[in-house]
Structure 1
Amino acid sequence: MSSAAEFNWTIRVYYEDTDTGGIVFYANYLKFFERARTEWLRACGVGQQALAQTHGKMFVVMSTAVDYHAPARLDDTLKLTVEVERLGRASVQFFQQAWRISDAEPQLLCTGRIRVGCVDTQTLRPGAIPTEVFARIQLNPA
């Protein structure tokens, strides 16, 4: 369930995350993964707002591939993982997982591969990840 280069972020499932049956709406896993990547980046010492203000760059999602294994439900506690699979000059590919940890035995709920690209905040054109940010990602792959 865990590797040496894995970042973990824990959340609770709230009513707003679920459908009328109390099951997490499938698209909300992308929101959960986004929050975990944001916290991972913050743990690397990079704030998204500072990245935009200092470097004029931001990360945008380029592609996603998500597999659903089991449903999360209202009040579940989830562990979200972040692993860097590939770091390029202008993009990062992540492998992410959502685990239910509120039960005795952790259960894998969802996996995803998310690729983000670095773009200029004004033109939205692709650009290289700033050197300082690239170095922090290399030092803290997850």
Structure 2
Amino acid sequence: MSEPVVLHSKQHVYFDMMDPQHHLHNAEYLVLFERARFELWRALGEGAYPENPDLDWPYVVARNEINYRAPIEHIQPVDIFVTVSRLGNSSLTLSFKMYREDGELAADGITVIVRVDPQTRRPRPWSEKFRSLIAPYCADAKSE
């Protein structure tokens, strides 16, 4: 299998995202990861979800994990790189790497999302159409 497509998302750290210690507040990393995730959805097809039925709306976030590697201590642009590290039956694990403007790794992490049935809110398998759209971003050779 070839190397996965990596989505590059350019984000920005603003003054209102800083904490009293003058660095990016820990919860704001998730906000930036989420913005990058939405750019991935846009890259998969015309329009953002839920308007695009091929994106298998709705889904819920089941897990977030962040490893803080180096502080972001002032307002600056950051680069976030997104890949799919696992595609399960109804779950999807996204991997993120965030770099400061000086090129140092600031954080990495994952978000696990689960597609759910809109009526029952129970897990629902990803469609074949969605699987084909997301396949180029998948880092693992096998999907479950």
Deviation (angstroms), 1:56: 7.2
Residue segments in structure 2 that go unaligned for 5+ positions in a row: 140-144
Deviation (angstroms), 1:131: 2.5
Residue segments in structure 1 that go unaligned for 5+ positions in a row: none
CA–CA distance in structure 1, aligned partners of residues 5 and 56 of structure 2: 28
1:10 aligns with 2:10: yes
1:50 aligns with 2:47: no
Q: Is this contact kept in 1: 2:82–2:94, CA < 8 A?
A: yes
> What is the CA RMSD across the aligned residues, in angstroms?
2.2
Matched pairs, number = 136
Q: Is this contact kept in 1: 2:81–2:97, CA < 8 A?
A: yes
Q: Give 1:13-52 correspondences, 5 Å limit.
A: 13-45=13-45, 47-51=48-52
Q: Give 1:93-104 correspondences, 5 Å limit.
A: 93-101=93-101, 103=102
Instruction: Classify 1:122/1:54 alpha carbon distance in 2 versus 1 (closer, same or farther; 3 Å).
Output: farther
What TM-score results when the alignment is normalised by the length of structure 1?
0.83
Show structure 1 runs of 4+ deviating over 3 A. 53-56, 139-142
Q: Is this contact kept in 2: 1:100–1:107, CA < 8 A?
A: yes
1:137 aligns with 2:134: yes
CA–CA distance in structure 1, aligned partners of residues 132 and 66 of structure 2: 28
Q: Is this contact kept in 1: 2:56–2:115, CA < 8 A?
A: no
**Percent identical across equivalent pairs?**
28
